[in-house]
Structure formats: structure tokens, C-alpha cells
Structure 1
Amino acid sequence: GGLSHAVRKMEASTGIISTVAGDLGDEGHTGEGGPATNATLRNPSGLAADASGNIFIADRQSNAIRTVLLR
């Protein structure tokens, strides 16, 4: 299989998996300033969150830290 270019989450209580950012198939470096689910990533390889729940994604092949802000 290939790389996944998305960040996904699973709700522990329901087992439902959803995409937080990126796309499972398409890769790229687009979507700055828009909804995270419309953005493209290139091999997200790590993430961190701050106290407000904002997510910081290490977008390895784009050499960038991508930010998903809680609104």
C-alpha cells in the first residue's frame, strides 16, 4: 500500500473514524487558511496539540508544520 496523506481520529466511545486534515489518496501542499479537510498534505509524520486543542502536523515531504485551529 501507499502512504496516507491524512490525519484521522477515532472516537473512543463509538469507534467512528473521521478525517481531521488532508486526504487519504491525494497529496500536496494546499489549503492554507481553509478547512483542514480540504487541505492536502504530503506524508504527515507526527503531530502535537496545545491546551486549546489546536493541532500541529509535521508535514514531512512539504518540510512544513501545518496548523489546524479549533474554531
Structure 2
Amino acid sequence: MLDGLAQADDEHPDVSLTHESGWCLSAFGGGLLVWENADEDSAAPGEMREFGREETLQIFGLLTAGDIASIYALSWQR
């Protein structure tokens, strides 16, 4: 999944996964993660920087499993 970042360009700078609840996790080159829900106005987007590949894959795994609460509880900068 993260191998797509090796071919990142201006049009496709990230890889992302969206849960059926509307929560979306995007990973950008350089270790930037963005956590947001475009369907929920009251939920401010958050970001984390300098995340490693394994940590990023673990968070994507949590989203795949539907564990929104665990991801939301991480130290997102808002």
C-alpha cells in the first residue's frame, strides 16, 4: 500500500483509506499522516509528522479493522 508513495507526484501525493464511517487516513511522503472526516463538520482534521512505515501500517490496520476510537485517541495535532 505505501509503495505507492514512491511514485507520488503533484496530482497523487498520498495514499489513503476511507472507512465507511467517513473517517479517512492519508499518508504522504516524508511521514506526514492526516486524519479527517469530511462528513462531520465538528471533527477537526489532525496530523502527525515523521511517522515511520511500520507505525503508519499499524494505523492503517486499525482503520481497516474499524477501530476508529484507537486512531482518534492518538496524539493528533489539530
Structure richer in helix, relative to its length:
2
Structure richer in strand, relative to its length:
1
TM-score by length of 1: 0.34
TM-score by length of 2: 0.31
